Amino acid sequence: MTIINELQLSKELIKFPSVTPKDAGAIKFLSKKLKKLGFNCKILEFKDRGSEPIQNLYARIGKKRPNLCYAGHTDVVPPGNMKDWTTDPFKPLVKKNYLIGRGANDMKSSIACFVAAVSRFLQKNQKFNGSISFLITGDEEGYAINGTKKVVDYLRKRREKIDFCIVGEPTNPNKLGEMIKIGRRGSLSGNIEISGTQGHIAYPHLSNNPINTLVAICKKLKEIKLDRGNKNFQPSNLEFTSINVNNKAHNVIPARARAKFNIRYNNLHTSSSLKKKVSSIVKKMSKKNKCNHKIDYMANGDAFLTKPGKTIFMAKKIIKKITKINPKLSTTGGTSDARFIKRISPCLEFGLVNKTMHRIDESVALSDLRKLTKIYNAILVEYFK
């Protein structure tokens, strides 16, 4: 049985410039690596009208249950200005005991650590009682249309059972071992368009300025206290991300004004209940000011919580033993593909330190790579006891 080195595999994965939605060969390469370990691999390509085709990978070794799954993504965000980097972001460099490269933190190195952990586990446990699987997408950093969401649908149709899933996103704010994510807030984005009547700035009584109505709507929506949070989640929050009129003239009252917003919400709401609340306010204030309105929504997944149980407490104990830090169970942060996987399996998220993700000179400590591989290996050993 081949033993895989986490640092070497991290470097190999980082070399693929797999900026969403481009795969650049990363999925195929990972599939070949897993096949050598004995995994049955299936590359799944999905596409929708108006969106780029995306390659995904589902790999499994073993036919028995329980099936412990690792989920992650090989796609990365754009590197930005290449000249700002210490090294070419797709030519990984080890400097002062840190691996630098796009995806070093989020999250190619985490994938490498789990593959390395599996290779070590299989060397000593070739006839273990259960299955190990990988669910890897190339569409986590993008619109998530043709990625994990569709792989989950595929697995449900095939009645493929996953008993527990570890999502390898970088979860730790400052030090490895600080935080396990056991849930995530939901995310709802929206575009509001208010239509008034265009006219001359000197004769406002002959026009109906949509900006006035839009500003009043924004003020009203920001004043609403959605909730106070609960023992597992922080309070829900609405933020406006842009207000746009596209009016280049100083003497013209515009016909339309637009605003974009996002709500990060806890499990006291659903996307449907929030849409109803927002739409009601927009409709009421538009009618009052004799304006027309239009709202488009994009729901990115409702809030969810994995109730702490045997597997989560086992992982917590292992992380504490290896890192000497007692990890906090948290639901903070952005969204992840766990929002799709939770439909078929309970999840926890645990990976690297997230301080440099999406930044110039994204990096990971070599010591963290070794520790994370140890943690993943210990979880595999304990899970299949």
Where are the domain boundaries for CATH 3.30.70.360 in the chain?
Answer: 186-299
- Cis before 82 (ω within 30): no
Distance in Å from the first CA to the final CA of the chain: 21
Q: What is the DSSP string of 98-141?
A: EEESTTTTTTHHHHHHHHHHHHHHHHH-TT-SSEEEEEEES-SS
- How far, in Å, CA of 280 to CA of 282, rounded? 6
186-299: CATH topology is: Alpha-Beta Plaits (3.30.70)
For 127, residues 6+ apart whose C-beta sits below 8 A from its C-beta are none
Q: Is the pTM of this model over 0.75?
A: yes
- What the block records as the tokens of 100 is 């630098």
Report, as residue numbers or ranges, the catalytic residues. Answer: 75, 140
Residue 76 pairs in a beta bridge with: 19
| Domain range 6-184+303-383, CATH class | alpha beta
- How far, in Å, CA of 363 to CA of 230, rounded? 34
pLDDT of residue 299: 86
- What the block records as the tokens of 335 is 């969204």
pLDDT of residue 335: 84
Half-sphere exposure for 324 (CA within 13 Å, toward CB):
1
Residue 296: its H or E element: strand 292-299
- How far, in Å, CA of 115 to CA of 82, rounded? 29
- How far, in Å, CA of 132 to CA of 345, rounded? 14
Where are the domain boundaries for CATH 3.40.630.10 in the chain?
Answer: 6-184+303-383
Residue 35: its H or E element: helix 26-36
Q: List the pLDDT tens digit at each of the 385 positions of the chain.
A: 789 999 999 999 999 999 999 999 999 999 999 999 999 999 999 998 888 999 999 999 999 999 999 999 999 999 999 999 999 999 999 999 999 999 999 999 999 999 999 999 999 998 899 999 999 999 999 888 899 999 999 999 999 999 999 999 999 999 999 999 999 999 999 999 999 999 999 999 999 999 999 999 999 999 999 999 999 999 999 999 999 999 999 999 999 999 999 999 999 999 999 999 999 999 999 999 999 999 999 988 889 999 999 999 999 999 999 999 999 999 998 889 999 999 999 999 999 999 999 999 999 999 999 999 999 999 999 999 9
pLDDT of residue 57: 98
CA 234-163-369 angle, 5° bins = 70
- How far, in Å, CA of 318 to CA of 130, rounded? 20
Nearest to 288 by CA among 196, 174, 361: 196
Burial class (CB in 10 A: 0-12, 13-18, 19+), 158: exposed
CA dihedral 58, 161, 336, 294 (to 10 degrees): 100
pLDDT of residue 143: 83
Chain position carrying tokens 């190339």: 138
- How far, in Å, CA of 172 to CA of 177, rounded? 7
Number of helical (H) and strand (E) elements in the chain, helices listed first: 9, 19
- What the block records as the tokens of 147 is 């990625």
Nearest to 117 by CA among 4, 15, 200, 264: 4
- How far, in Å, CA of 254 to CA of 342, rounded? 45
How distant is the alpha carbon of residue 262 from its chain centre? 16
pLDDT of residue 126: 86
- What the block records as the tokens of 60 is 């499994």
pLDDT of residue 50: 83
Residue type, 4: I
Chain position carrying tokens 């000497």: 324
